[in-house]
Chain A
Amino acid sequence: MTAVLAEGLKKHYGETKALDGLDLEVPQGEIFGLLGPNGAGKTTAVKVMTTLASPTAGRAVIDGIDVTKNPKAVRTRIGLTGQYAAVEERLTGRENLELVGRYFHHKKSELKSRATELLHMFDLMEAADRPANTYSGGMRRRLDIAMSLVARPAILFLDEPTTGLDPRSRLGMWEFIARLGDEGTTVLLTTQYLEEADVLAKKIAVIDHGLKIAEGSADQLKDQIGGDKVRVTIVKPENIQRAKQAIVPFATGAVDQDPESAQTLTAPIHAGGGVVPNIIRGLDDAGVDVLDVEVRRPTLDDVFLVLTGRAAEERGQEEL
């Protein structure tokens, strides 16, 4: 069953086309990654799908309900954690959670027990009765996500949940998000961190300029740009031609010399089936001393570079 469906979704702000015909299909019970650099349209997509903004054209259907036809029914089925930790600073963690329960008209006993349950789940029990403004960045984000889960939403939208967190808190946050996925919560996660989508999401849509430019599992996306690469470093630069000839039979494409090193060659290969040992053996037979052999699966950075001709991170910088 489809939890989130977007068809030709457009959102224009004057001349700016934040979304320009986005198609998405998120199956129920999966973590789905929406990956793109700053300004790609990720947040706009989330805003339209969570009823905060109305689409200029196209449609978005959440848990079977069209966002423009019945926004209120959509709001009963979603949880939204935006880019900023939207917690009430001077209320305690527990009070923040109970507050959300009150917005949902939960009974007093129910909102209290749900708050405690979520505090446990997000490892906030110790800080439960401290005001949120004493929380660390990571704790605040956890509370923020917990607040989005009070009413057990069918779909949780996480808009860049780890932006601004230090590396350690980011890893911690990944564990919590992965656990939600294990428990069967449908999560639509936006991120500009390629690693994050790789680790968390079962399926990833890469978007740029408000359009989907690629979709698939992390592995599928990587295969799309030519799979694995082997990187061979030899001891003596004068043997480079001989080394090249030894590698050619195993490569699926051109064998290139690393522009920064006279001792290093890179080549696309299909890893597995003994290809790497064969390469080493071949080099040995050719009398080339090998310093290092490294097999590298491409990162999503590479994917973005191939798809758009630009590095994702660089582009993010430009738009800041």
Chain B
Amino acid sequence: MTATAAPSELDHKHHPDDIAGSTGLIGIITDSLTESGRHLRIIPRNIELLIFATIQPVMFVLLFSFVFGGSIQTPPGFTDYDQYLMPGIFAQTVVFGSAFTSIGIAEDMSKGFIDRLRSLPIAQSSVLIGRTLSDVVRNAITFVTMLLVAFLLGFRFEGSLLGALGATALLLFFSYGLSWVQALIGLSVSSVEAANSAGFIWMFPITFVSSAFIDTSNLQYAWLRTVADWNPFTQVTNAARALYNGNDPGDAVMTSILWAVGMIVLFAFLATRKFNQISD
């Protein structure tokens, strides 16, 4: 047979069945790392964002410590209010940090980057996995800064170092779960401005109606106490607080892990489904 292929066919010969490599777990991991890499690479280049993302938690640490430090009675079992307060602020900060996920996704949507990614032969789930993973790293960076400031103010790990590391990991894991909630929000809103608002607004009741800054038994209404005690944020704050101070966390560690896992499973499912239907 005389092979006289048309030139146009030849042009597309090296054409890419061989590059459709993003299948299976390896594909998901590789593509997620590429996506994470994209976000992490620009963190040091966005100096303004980096500065404000650092200032906010430092400001919270200073404000609560100096303003409330003298006027709120230190709950029993703690050497001073800072030892009680700091874990609450750490918890609040990582929770607020999860809002970067919704804002980042909304930004990628508005500038058409999500469309670009969806038109590539990558594992589609890697877009959200990559985003949430890089946001945990970003949160960890903020966390280190905050710990340094807290140490300068006299905060100490009263328990074991392992306990303190465990507390830190627990907080970051919890914020990772919230990142998936934020992912769904980021995919659902129509603008970056809306994401900014929708990502933050519910953080306030969650962090304030909790044990982050006060002993919940001091709340003036019984129903409010119930809400605060059931708040998963109270659970994770209590767990971290106990571990940083060398106290027994009881069930709080397991409860917060379960909450985080639950959030990841449910919201990863919802966000991924939403992602696949963006244009439908």
Contacts and interface: CB of A to CB of B under 8 A. Distances in A.
B122 interface: yes
A75 B17 CA distance: 10
Given A52-B118, A99-B38, A103-B120, A152 B15 contact: yes
Contacts of B151: none
A78 B115 CA distance: 13
A106 to B, nearest CB: 7
B15 A73 contact: no
Given A77-B15, A83-B112, A105-B30, A52 B38 contact: no
Nearest to A79: B119
Interface in B41-100: 41-42, 45-46
Nearest to B39: A88
A91 B112 contact: no
Interface string B18-37: 01111000000011001001
B113 interface: yes
Contacts of B116: 80, 82, 86, 147
Given A105-B19, A105-B21, A50 B119 contact: yes
Contact-residue bracket for chain A: 35 or more
A186 B11 CA distance: 11
Contacts of A100: 120
A242 interface: no
Nearest to B16: A76
Interface string A49-78: 011111000000001000000001101111
Interface in A174-231: 184
B279 interface: yes
Contacts of B17: 73, 76
A296 B250 CA distance: 87
Contact of B112 (A78, A86, A106, A151): A86
Contacts of B11: 29, 184
B115 A80 contact: yes
Nearest to B30: A105
Contacts of B121: 72-73, 75-76, 104
A102 B34 contact: yes
A297 interface: no
Interface string A101-123: 01111100000000000000000
Contacts of B22: 72, 105
A90 B21 contact: no
Interface of B: 6-9, 11-12, 14-17, 19-22, 30-31, 34, 37-38, 41-42, 45-46, 110-113, 115-122, 278-280
